[in-house]
Structure 1
């Protein structure tokens, strides 16, 4: 990570805007995820997933196809999830919604069977501490979970996730060659944790020969030795991408970005700070990267992921965000 500060706290309920506790560290050397990145909202009543989990090589993937595929031509869409991962019913329903719009959707297990600690469904019942002891217990539980998330993030770095993505994309080009060809490449959407990887897949980045470090950021210094001259550029690996409330993003992650990008952002989101978003917009504008950025007020981080909310404004924003992302990939 770079020196961009990343906050560690997400909203506790539907209507609350994102907030950061005063005593929560915000160092880039101590990044973590918010509650809405590691927990699902209740699944919408009457909805269930319709795709299937299979393996592409040694990677588990959830695949959802249009009802009339392969008789009707489709395009290939890679969907990258937040911390709740492959087995989240909400994430699966999200994939199904894109499939119903004509995409063969492949949702890989980014975490190799290790979703975020304490992944669960957020209760609709508000928690009101009844005593100082209750408050202490809640704070202790939050601290423990934060520690577990830190340890989990240390296990799921760019060096671990990117090879998984390349394996899956290689398999897609074989298994669904018709859909990749029909779309002229692979489209991709990402939520929370997965959002950052849309930026990385959409960039031209510097890589080392023979797997010496995978890969260096375009902003990272190359090693000073006789092999430095052999560094090559690779990517982008996707045709176009859409990102919803990404987390763990630094300003450097925009460097080398080449493909059209749509961004769904949350107003005053500590998990995707305004300074990072604005720097990203400036980079894309200066480098003629086609993009759109929509900032949604009055919604919590994670709102664009399938899940039930009591607040109608959040429900409406969730539907609008899906339409924004879908429209973008359809137009590109």
Structure 2
């Protein structure tokens, strides 16, 4: 699976970031810290879209979560190679080549370097909020049970239902080792982290059929740790980070997804 044109489309939001850039575990990171008291042993990992720390929207959003009492760390998942802000309006990008340089294993290694460094500073519990590209590493950390809670918005690079539920192989006796490894990649069977998915109307990366399948597999109490999905009419993939907030429906979706995520974190983290 690749990315789509909506993964880089969007609007730059105005504001002045209030956090700080620092290196954590050798990884350039943006850190947003609450102004008041907050639990020093907890960190929310902000796993970004393809623009990473180069897009002001991501920094402002990290600040917004910090204002709600969470210390937020936004690591540079792309080692200085995130898309520049002007790609919002470029209309063309070679996703295949770029993704080849930033595969899941490499990104997971970067994220775990940050986690290890934060643990050395006394952090004992992590949640992740993943946007677009960032949903993939959030899922990978969750199935490894390295997270206490996961919230994603307009997720990309997931394979539904394969990433949610293991499927029986009629040749199990021939492929026991392969099946065991595949089993370990499934959210429903392996993760203990409650999950929130903020979804929308127009999304080729997480379309209506994938949304319905996620509800079927995880909803109705089937996933014991907890599962919630929001749906935002009139919104397009990327709305939670790069949406045009002059559009009332997009504004409602962006603000609604943020509120749902804050409430989810308060309840589960």
Place the TM-score, normalised by the shorter chain, in its bin: 0.7 to 0.9
**Counterpart for residue 36 of structure 2:** 68
Q: Decide whether aligned partners of structure 1 residues 73 and 149 sit closer, same or farther in structure 2, where only a CA change above 3 A counts.
A: same
Question: Residues of 2 paired with 1:166 and 1:280: CA distance?
Answer: 27
TM-score when normalising by structure 1: 0.67
Q: Decide whether aligned partners of structure 1 residues 122 and 151 sit closer, same or farther in structure 2, where only a CA change above 3 A counts.
A: closer
Task: Give the alignment of 1:1-332 within 5 angstroms.
Answer: 28=1, 31-35=2-6, 37-44=7-14, 47-69=15-37, 72-74=38-40, 75-116=42-83, 119-120=85-86, 122=88, 145-146=92-93, 148-175=94-121, 177=122, 180-181=123-124, 185-203=125-143, 235-251=144-160, 252-254=162-164, 255=186, 256-285=190-219, 286-305=222-241, 308-332=244-268
Comparing both structures, which one devotes a greater share of its residues to helix?
A: 2
Question: Residues of 2 paired with 1:65 and 1:287: CA distance?
Answer: 32
Aligned length, in residue pairs: 240
Deviation of 1:330 (Å):
0.6
Structure ID, larger Rg: 1
* Higher relative contact order, chain-length normalized (CA < 8 Å, sep 6+): 1
Question: Residues of 2 paired with 1:320 and 1:160: CA distance?
Answer: 32
Q: Decide whether aligned partners of structure 1 residues 274 and 289 sit closer, same or farther in structure 2, where only a CA change above 3 A counts.
A: farther
**Structure 2 gap ranges (5+):** 165-185
TM-score when normalising by structure 2: 0.82
Question: Residues of 2 paired with 1:55 and 1:325: CA distance?
Answer: 26
Structure 2 contact 10–244 (Cα < 8 Å) conserved: no
**Counterpart for residue 172 of structure 2:** none
Deviation of 1:309 (Å):
2.5
